Structure 1
């Protein structure tokens, strides 16, 4: 038995040693090109290889688990350029792990775990089985399935660097690292917008690419993506061949040279080339004083370096940076819009000095025009986010500095710049001793008065003067708030559009004589301002508390975002209990008039441009703004057109702003029947994917040229009333035949997709003018947008990429589209056709009895809700 036990122990030891040997050999292999799932790595396992575990076929790039510095305890999954050791992409930049933290590749994607086994980063849900992780010689780290389809790629998630083979799309951002030894998100960001590249500090623009003298603007067409190569740095339009902006570089790199565009942690955007060493070909802005935090908080930046303005001194706790020289004054902290100001707080305004400029006034609109300095101060005092202000004497314009204080620069000598006077908001220590009546004056003062009369008289004089000053400020603030309330809970917003007088709008609209549209939220009139600008004036008719909220939402959202595919709000007006919104005028009106009207049909290319323009606008709302904006009411009536077929999304009154910490769950149903996503009725979180569903429905109508609930206007319209021509208002001007068979077009689209009969879905008036490939692209994109599960729908940014051909077309998941068969069958049943006398029942379908075993159908009967349930205040 002892011998047997000895043999057994020896065998076990040998097996353990063999297992350790095998594991070690497997773990420390540096793979070439690709890795299969069930792979685990850590820096500790690959320490002899400096954390490297995967190289591209030609060894141009390496994937590793590494730290920024040899002594750093933080480790990241990175891709770096092998020759220069330059990191081009970081996965877990905000969640570093230790040397024992693991990266695991499984059939569902990549996950990074810390020492405790908690997941700190992972690729998003993919929806397909991963067959391999590949590192291409372009530097792109990708996941592919068994048929070599790309499921995920690092190029879609840039960090602070773009390489030569990479396309940087509209709406994406580069975020600088905190420092060379800390890869986490810093304070500087570069974002590609529809017409420019924007440099931002703490979400405030401080420079535009087009401002650089080396930038040449070739076109005013919308920008689609940015790319850098051996000859330059370019912003291309949607066609991929139209050059919008090109940037001249100081040198031309060879094809073999490694060239990158990078946002440095100091706020400079650079293009650098590597052969045997680094050469900087481009750096912007050239004037380093344009960097918002170049000299720290309130530091004065000049050609001679950093100093402090008069009345300020070096901050002992910050280098660089300045604080107030007067120790009796302190700087308040911003509430970042999260709280209100205590009534007892009193402020004084310290002048920065003449000839001083602040970067944000170049890129924001004044909160108010034609006001006095005291009014501007009162606006800042009533805003807990306001830390300072600039006042322009000539125009009476008031600019606020909110949330953060950056550096100051000497003005350029421009008259407009010199006319602006800057002030910093400060708290006086004496404000906490402010008293409201003479009886509150300390009794001890009265006792000592006979012996120290002269001194106390002086103290009383100062006290009374200060009290009078505080009362005056309080009075001015109250007058300011009262003058703008107009029975509306008005607020002050940086960049608020122009406030028009009621008399001005009466004059512009000729007493509101030309009505061009109407809806549940208001009536729209055509007008012309005094500068001959044609506008659309919406008179808001929802006067209840909900109407006030919607009115404020429209101003807050539209007034602060600018995109070529979003309607521009020019101004607003409040008059007694009436509210007005003044928009840019779109002379072709809304898409439904052109698409469903009796005039010449839209050509296929026009429909495609409308689809792309709408997708771009929604993509910007979802990912290009500081807060995610969900439109909630995407439909043809809210897509406006101009004579040159420019597309703009309108009507943001139902929009929902979401911060990154918010779940996105709505408490009130909103939107329009026929375009509502299933999750509205299932208590699931409402997200940007809800707009994607509505967009899919609009795309089907663009393809077909008719309403999706075709030939049954009573069933599909919001308010089915009869016009004088005998037609339902829901199909006024429609080219549907009066007695055609009822049709639920989304079901027909699904069935024709299964049969590959895409041309059968195209508007019959375009016969012979559309190819199968063109039709297939739009049908597949539309069906992908209609997936019942929101997670399976593409983002609007990916919709744009699929339409433009920069991303492969997605394949509709039939199992997630089966709900359309149920809706379609119920719609086409004879029992579903209602008579005119039944039109008073405001439902799109009669609620059926669910007999299907598919429980998901019973959970998502959005089409059977009444108009009162599903329509917002439209």
Structure 2
């Protein structure tokens, strides 16, 4: 009896101990050793045995990872079979987040696989059937839990069934997903999902896309090959094709171990294990308001302050912890369809959102209809019981429906074409609240009022006919002509506003007011003058007045404007809108407060440091690479020069005037341009012949700009003091000393000098002397070699802009430029010395 009492006491104590530790996942970080690296069939583990192993029953060879049953503080307490990174207690895998187990569950390993059963021996979770018997369960040092057979062939791997995390060495194949947990201590599947498609890494909230990896400024696209899988290595996150070729890449600092995790907040984080802790390296989406439920249902997320409020017409109730509801107590948000598929309430009204508000999915979702009017869009939502609101494009005529679930509303810093409406319902009325409530009129009134109206209308028509008969024929003809002109004008306007994707159309009076009657000119070029403007919401814009528009009609202009307006990239100046006033054409762009590279590089202001020059070079190259190979409509810029490279806050760099050559000249073949455009000194040699203009012409222009970035002076520089070697550029600004390339007194052609210094490996003699030695020779060599590769005579010898970016970012080895394809620079430099440029 005494021994039975002791055993009972011991069992009770063991159970109590396990339950206490189960509430704290930190118990698995115990200093107790892990005894097993493999376990074999006929292994059974109950909660008492988990205590015997201090919560963990399996460990990797070096103890980096442990397989354990952990309990999380939920009600009721839930347990999960998990793999944990020991040093940080980070869960990297769980057996099935949607089916937690209880403390009475049992873990079984048999020759048929791994099983978890409840107290009644009912199956909760298991591995699939196998064709050969299981020999062992092992936990690898990579964190991969595997079942192997007698030949040590893998039968099942946890890496092939990810939950919310992937680690180095683990692939996420196309079609597979990561599912965010419902909360920090609730591992059941939440509302966020990350899926790898054959085109992109897609972020979704309740099946609505809110982000893609290609939208990240740090994600570089190498090719358009279909994706096959995603993996991480020591240098970053990679999306690869079938043959292992790199398609997308997020470059990160070197790390020996990192993980990527989709959090319960809907954000994807990449973290490296440095100094016994996780260091966050990447988060996407970076913008807080891009997360669909950042502020709850219909909560308004302020992008500037990352704060939450409610839109006008809505507020938060003390008993509503989810989001915002209508301020009017008689209205409520519809609850969707009833079991019969109909709307639960027949009374529908809409609350209009402010013009500066938008919805997270509008930029990524396909509209349900195009080229429709507002009334049709509204009807589409009203007749759809799953529709909870809609957004309508005033000028583009596109209609987006918000169906099934409502996320947060985003504020916008700029005016948008889309206007939003949120559906509300009221059970107290059976009529659509867009119409007035009916009163019960007497039958006599219902008859007499329409009759009176009919006779009144006849009287008005008779008076009008008598007046027209007395009018002179010439006036009648004039009125008919004017009516016909108005009809034609209206028809033209309808054609314009029905073009899909058209950006905001500004009134001419708006631009006159914003620019103070085009008072402040901030730039000019071959396409027209640029003026600074301030919109009513205090947004500063750049207004370009197009000249030499030619014979293109309004519809053609708007079609090309829609293409330009649809292009969004961190290194391209965004088109905000346009204006048509008679024969005048205006484009409204975002304003770049740093001015042009031309002014910064060649002006008298602060000297650009080398790291700033490199950022400008890489940013410009990325923008061109996007235009050439990544946007939906391939665009050749045709006028790359420092004037068209604009600088902004935080060292941002953006290309302007892209797409304008296509806008001003109609081409039947978008891939081949033959019109002579561009700026002297930057145009490729093929422009001077009958050869077609391709994207390699932009590569040549970029190479010329890159040489100017290195030297800090224009490529054609006037030498005025031959004896001292001091040069002056075309504007009279002091340049640097030169010691090579003996030309006739007059003009020095820097590309020819760069070729000669490259041949002699004397790169530091090419760098801007104002940097005073704050740059290493190999850094200059990289830019000079890339530039010379770009300006080779034969277009086929030049790299693509994607390859240029990879070389500048040290992801591709530097090419060696072909001297025979560059000798034309020397001959051109000799001719230039005898004939100063205009």
* TM-score normalised by L of structure 1: 0.45
Larger radius of gyration: 2
